[in-house]
């Protein structure tokens, strides 16, 4: 990881004072509108790279707060700047996109949206990963910061990033000149809500925060024919099935025990009818690792096993293996994380800020950090505190992100998100 080092960074990471925290009155002033925005975006989710209405709503609210807003950066991306004298440039990011998941929360504001995806198939859409809450928190934070310019200095840079769920949006924004058309920030900040902690709390992970992610698309070729005469065919479904099972031995038999590694086949598609053996089968995989050598090892093993299974069945040609997206693990600058822990503890209470181990999900915030920008990415508790306590003592497990049942406990989670973001920004940009 490239980490920026300069006197300016040392100055902005100086000791943090409790005076940089947010008062309940400040949050009360912005919370009702933020909650309404949350409900609106939750009811009207949009898929990755198609977040036109979501981006327009975000742009409108930030302009109203006094920010200089540029739209269509990297597609539907938003960049909003608020200059307040000399000082550091601090970036705060939110994601814009939702997921092709059918909501089953039973909430009165549950999404009923259905759209056609890139392949032309109709799919349900849901904010199953909390990006709606992230957007609402960022807007409210922007309004608090704009109203209290006497308490900070520098340039506040807000990012509405498209396509985080497809690991594409950060790169698209960078390719469109994010840090050449606009100021390159001294620090990049983001948060993410989950049920890993109860609402009202946040967690911090210094160093490596999550995992590397690699997305693969594999096509296995056979020879099609009549289902009643398999001897005249080479069945790609059987080859694919054997390949899926063989891939599961990589982590259990090839990776050193204790190393973090996941190989998941998330989709497998083949054929059109019960009595037709198709001529190809397609599967998609996600690979998660932390160590770069383990990453290379697993990707090589996938290629070896896939080719070997096809060869053993006398497939007419080698499979195609496309690595269609990859992102590195998010890295939290340890010194920055330590100082933000002090700031967040002052804002939320020491007992509401905890240290947590790295998580397995991945995301493309790492693209920003890779530009030589110290990053601080922290977790926001979203679980109903009572249900969380029950789950900790043998009760029903709470829904994870991407579940059709995922819904954060909005009232405390959104308030905490606003208070946390304002505290972090004021600490980094304090007078």
DSSP of 227-256: TT-GGGSB-HHHHHHHHHHHHTHIIIIISP
Fill in the DSSP letter of residue 19.
G
What pairs with residue 206 in β-bridges?
A: none
How, if at all, do strands 261-270 and 225-226 pair?
A: unpaired
DSSP of 135-173: HHHHHHHHHHHHHTGGGB-EEEEEEEES-TTTT-HHHHH
Q: How far apart are CA 293 and CA 6, in angstroms?
A: 31
Q: How far apart are CA 302 and CA 262, in angstroms?
A: 12
How many CA atoms lie within 13 Å of 53's alpha carbon, on the beta-carbon side? 11
The catalytic residues are 325, 411
163-135-64 Cα angle (round to 5): 115
Q: How far apart are CA 388 and CA 191, in angstroms?
A: 20
The CA-atom distances, in angstroms, between 88 and each of 4, 8, 188, 425 are: 13, 8, 11, 11
- Paired tokens of 4: 């920026």
Reduced to 3 states (helix: H, G, I; strand: E, B; else coil), residue 331 is strand
């Amino acid at each position: 990881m490239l980490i920026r080092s300069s006197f300016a960074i040392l100055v902005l990471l100086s000791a943090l004072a409790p005076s940089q925290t947010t008062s309940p009155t400040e949050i009360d002033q912005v919370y009702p509108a933020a909650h309404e925005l949350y409900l609106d975006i939750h009811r009207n989710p949009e898929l990755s790279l198609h977040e036109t209405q979501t981006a327009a709503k975000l742009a409108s609210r930030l302009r109203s707060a006094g920010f200089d807003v540029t739209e269509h950066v990297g597609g539907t991306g938003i960049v909003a700047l608020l200059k307040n004298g000399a000082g550091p440039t601090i970036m705060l990011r939110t994601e814009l996109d939702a997921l092709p998941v059918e909501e089953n929360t039973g909430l009165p504001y549950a999404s009923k949206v259905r759209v056609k995806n890139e392949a032309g198939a109709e799919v349900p859409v849901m904010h199953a990963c909390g990006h709606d809450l992230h957007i609402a928190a960022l807007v409210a934070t922007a309004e608090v910061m704009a109203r209290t310019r006497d308490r900070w200095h520098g340039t506040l840079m807000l990012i509405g990033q498209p396509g985080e769920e497809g690991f594409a949006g950060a790169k698209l924004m960078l390719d469109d000149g994010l840090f050449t058309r606009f100021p390159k920030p001294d620090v990049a900040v983001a948060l993410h809500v989950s049920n890993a902690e109860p609402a009202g709390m946040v967690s911090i992970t210094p160093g490596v925060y999550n995992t590397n992610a690699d997305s693969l698309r594999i096509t296995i070729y056979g020879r099609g024919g009549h289902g009643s005469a398999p001897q005249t065919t080479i069945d790609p479904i059987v080859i694919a099935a054997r390949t899926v099972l063989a891939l599961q031995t990589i982590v259990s038999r090839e990776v050193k025990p204790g190393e973090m590694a996941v190989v998941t086949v998330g989709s497998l598609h083949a054929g059109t009818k019960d009595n037709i053996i198709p001529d190809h089968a397609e599967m998609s995989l996600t690979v998660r690792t932390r160590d770069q050598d383990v990453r290379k090892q697993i990707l090589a093993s996938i290629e070896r096993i896939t080719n070997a299974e096809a060869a053993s069945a006398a497939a007419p040609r080698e499979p195609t293996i496309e690595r269609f997206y990859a992102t590195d693990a998010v890295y939290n600058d340890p010194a920055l994380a330590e100082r933000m822990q002090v700031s967040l503890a002052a804002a939320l209470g020491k007992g509401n800020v905890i240290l947590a181990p790295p998580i397995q999900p991945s995301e493309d915030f790492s693209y920003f950090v890779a530009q030589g920008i110290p990053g601080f990415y922290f977790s926001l508790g979203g679980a109903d505190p009572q249900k969380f306590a029950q789950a900790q003592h043998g009760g029903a497990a709470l829904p994870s992100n991407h579940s059709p049942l995922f819904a954060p406990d909005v009232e405390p989670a959104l308030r905490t998100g606003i208070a946390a973001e304002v505290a972090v920004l004021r600490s980094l940009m304090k007078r």
